[in-house]
Structure 1
Amino acid sequence: MDFSQIEGLMGLASTALGMTGKAAETAQTIKGLLSSGKTPDNSEAARLISDLATQLTAANMTNVQLSEALRTVVRELRSHDDHERQLARYELFQTELGEMVYKLRDDMAEGQPIHFICPVCLNRDKQFIFIRGNGDIRACQAHPRDHHFAFRHTPRQTVARTRRGPSRI
């Protein structure tokens, strides 16, 4: 979550508060003008009412902006909470060769097969991307050329030369 959004919300709220206060002062001036016992100056009252309408419109527009900004922040917070809830289903797992990946926790499987997710995609893009394969070397489904993970050591095979060509020993 970007804290500049929250700072922006605070700025909008302060602006809306200032506009509302100014509109309240104008309304108070109109009330004083009408209740003074003297015959009110219609041009002054009309000007004050026009000012009040302008101030209330501006305050309303600021409140609309504030409301939209709050909806955006709430959506992002929900998305962050969903991500954290999903992440809680996984634990950091070290392969036999020391590679770090995320593994679905046994107690959180909820009928899903145990699987691994790419830590690069999770940390960089906040996406849960499966690691495919079940061999010694496995790859991220989204970036198979870039994100490889060694799960076990594969012994190197020796090739013996014979008259008929290479053969595996």
Structure 2
Amino acid sequence: MVNFQDTIQEHGEAIGLSLRHTSTAMDLAAELQSLASRSKHAGDMELNHLVAALKSEITNANRANIAIQKTLSKIEKAALEAVVVKSKLDRYALWQTPAGASVYRLKADRAEGDPMHYVCPVCYQNAKISILQGSQMKKDCMVCDKSSCTYRFEYSRSVDRA
């Protein structure tokens, strides 16, 4: 399994190194321009054009590296958020109520001081934790607000009328 944090860190270091190299290349281009201006080819338009083109390409490479670094930072943030969400979701296991409905139930060994509760399976599949509310007979998801997000926990008790 790929460890995204290690991968991101490795690529982040590579981008940092790349940025340092483009900075060094820009310094070398500036020295080359200075040397060219002092040489017997000081007025050589072709040489000046090549130095300017080199500086432009180095600047473009630097901009691209910065854009990659920003993208990598966004990916790193998303990966860290995914780890947090997965950790929260891992606290629950799919469970079938006595009435046959499937919901997610807090694992006793992962309660962390929380009381026993149940989570909407629709929200869970969307990486959200929505605690079901209601009575012992049925519980509803207050986030989904759909009639299909009502879950029976116990069968209805019929009353015999004689």
- The question of a shared fold, defined as TM-score above 0.5 by the shorter chain, is answered with yes
CA RMSD of aligned residues (A): 2.8
The 5 A counterparts of 1:1-150 are 39-40=40-41, 42-123=44-125, 125-146=126-147, 147-150=149-152
* Percentage of identical aligned residues: 27
Structure-1 separation of matches of 2:161 and 2:143: 35
Contact 2:89 2:124 in 1 (8 A): no
- SS state of the match for residue 68, structure 2? helix
Letter in 1 for 2:128: Q
Structure-2 separation of matches of 1:57 and 1:134: 65
Structure-1 separation of matches of 2:116 and 2:135: 12
Letter in 2 for 1:105: K
Greater share of residues in strand: 1
Higher relative contact order (CA 8 A, sep 6+): 2
Structure-1 separation of matches of 2:144 and 2:63: 45
Structure-1 separation of matches of 2:107 and 2:113: 12
Per-residue CA shift, 1:90-139, capped at 9, x if unaligned?
1111111221111111111111111111110111x321111012321110
Per-residue CA shift, 1:46-80, capped at 9, x if unaligned?
21221112111111111121011111111111111
Structure-2 separation of matches of 1:94 and 1:40: 84
Give the greater-gyration-radius structure (CA). 1
Structure-1 separation of matches of 2:74 and 2:65: 14
Structure-2 separation of matches of 1:117 and 1:80: 19
**How far 1:158 sits from its partner (Å)?**
4.2
Aligned residue pair count: 134
Structure 2 segments unaligned to the other structure (5+ residues):
1-10
Letter in 2 for 1:75: K
Q: With structure 2 as the length reference, what TM-score do the two structures score?
A: 0.70
Structure-2 separation of matches of 1:144 and 1:53: 59
- SS state of the match for residue 152, structure 1? coil
Structure 1 segments unaligned to the other structure (5+ residues):
1-8, 161-169
